Structure 1
Amino acid sequence: MARQIESAHKNGDKRFNLITTLNHLKDRSVTRLRETGNMRTCMPLPNLNASPPQANHFLSNQPCISPVDYDAPMKRVILYPQPSPVQAQLIKIFETWLGDAARALSTKSKKLYGTRQSSQWKLHGRWSGCNYFARLVLQEVDAFPSVVLETIHIERGKENDEHFERDYIYEKAGRWFEGSPNGTMQLVIIALISHDPLLPWTSPSLPDWNPASPCHDWGMSPNQIKHSSAATIATNIATQDKNSSALTGVDLYLATASYPNHRGYSEHVWHGVFRADGQLLPPDYNSVASDFALSQIFPQVIGSPEYNALNELRIPVNDLMTTLPRAIVQDRYAQAEFVARDAQQKARECRSQGSPRYEHERNGLA
């Protein structure tokens, strides 16, 4: 995993280098960095080293910090982004699905089961010292989770490239099982979101303009960018994007208790591809089907009415197909907002540098 972490360092936002102590994670500036930077993947913090006792003590007593993992073997803290609109919708869908399972398990076992968002967990056994963040879990109350949902973003076309977050999440899935006490962990749901990113704004009027670079002027000159609000720019970009060929894919994988013995293999249970306007592509693009049901991972309910209830809890395909389109559109607009703010910053820098081409355009000479 060390090579993937070094790759993430090279390609990441240099501002993360300023986070050098655990106490920095409490600072409002870290939260702002997650909110205002286009942070879509989890990021190892290159200059923050902490021992397992230090990290576990800190994470046990700081419930309001930005979500992080602590990876004990590497002694690294890994910062999570805010959930994107697509991730937030997936969390909502699976919280309902797992909530139904919690009620069935509570009835059968006479113990209280429930779902929980944004929680922190200490691992045991081989991975003692690791402290992991979970977007969503199903658990017996006050016990280690039985089910965990992990979600990641990755750029379309690079699914098979070396990618820190993808490799890390799959390794993390194995550790959830190996680090759970008494085999409590039964299922890790991995939602892989692959998207065509919105190209950054540029213009021939910029001094560093490079027509060969992957960028776009979005039909707006530097002068128009300067005199438009970020919302207006974002709306213009989003409108054009809806008519583009950009796609977003959502793939669901399930890792069960046999995963550590077959590391890297998980069942592919759903695949959906959406246009930028949210339209789900025809079935030919969405061919993966699965008969997985939650009854398969909770054998204690076999032979009871609750077994039938869990057996009916199959992958919530209808919810995925009907609610993700809106989330896709919201996610594309959120990306357009980042492109718009970046465009304004570039236009301001161009003006402050006194680019002749920009001045000609501003004065109506070009």
Structure 2
Amino acid sequence: MNIEDFDFDLPEELIAQTPLKDRTASRLCVLDKQTGQIQHQHFSDIINYLHAGDCLVLNDTKVLPARLYGVKEDTGAKIEVLLLHQEENDNWEVLVKPAKKVKEGTVIDFGDGLLKAVCTDIKKHGGRTVKFSYDGIFYEILDELGEMPLPPYIKEQLSEKDRYQTVYAKEKGSAAAPTAGLHFTNELLQQIKDKGVEVIFITLHVGLGTFRPVSVDSVEEHTMHSEFYRMSQKASESLNNAKAEGRRIISVGTTSTRTLETIARDNNGAFVETSGWTDIFIYPPYQYQAIDGLITNFHLPKSTLIMLVSALAGKDEVLHAYREAVRERYRFFSFGDAMLII
């Protein structure tokens, strides 16, 4: 399957640069995966498509203010560092820019010495391992010095850090937000629970894969980067009960989806309390084992995310919905509008 099969024309002005004031005010494109029928709604209408007994699965990862700006201690050259994930203690896998200036032994200074990092390893994919040194509490220093790592297609500054964070974010560790969840408010989640929908939390820390484009012509040759996930016993029991009783499992976002499908794949369709690393790559004609529906945003052309969505609802149907969304002037990507596939 060729990467060009997942391309579509997207006017640049449809790439959302800022979040809406009201999280639930985004538009919602509802795609029936059986018939291909499309409806245009608003995100607050999502409750009308959820039934008592459904399981709504959300990723409770919390985005770190993971972009740091520092200088090389010896030359004063400016260095940008993006934290990807913590390896152990104060050792982190990071991306650096410009990479050619950061070799093993390079020391980078942040905040006039408030935080320092020494490069200890150069990764095959071009990333680095650095060891941080500091006085105090690392995450407090990160909150003071770091910026939210907005995707490269967002050119405007974010005035409120919390707007690139879901209202239920809890587990620190992501280099990017699980953006489908940005549409929910605590009030909407309470309304959903009051309707009898079971809300379940799992964790996947979004990592390097989010920043890696597909660079091969053949989809099958692309390799996904691994990301850390965790599922609790409570979540696994709830999901197994739902499956046994024929109730729908609706995933919020591609990150929740990849976690659920990884666990189901590795356990003969069942869910278990577990944690680990997943590099699952979902594209047509993948057969879903875990989920019945998906809430997601509109994704980049030729991305692994549009492939995942196409595996659920059909490539032609998804691309048709995307073309219609362009005609209807939907807002795209992280701060954009949403799609419900059910």
TM-score by length of 2: 0.27
More helix by share: 1
Q: Higher relative CO (CA 8 A, sep ≥ 6), structure 1 or 2?
A: 2
TM-score by length of 1: 0.26
More strand by share: 2
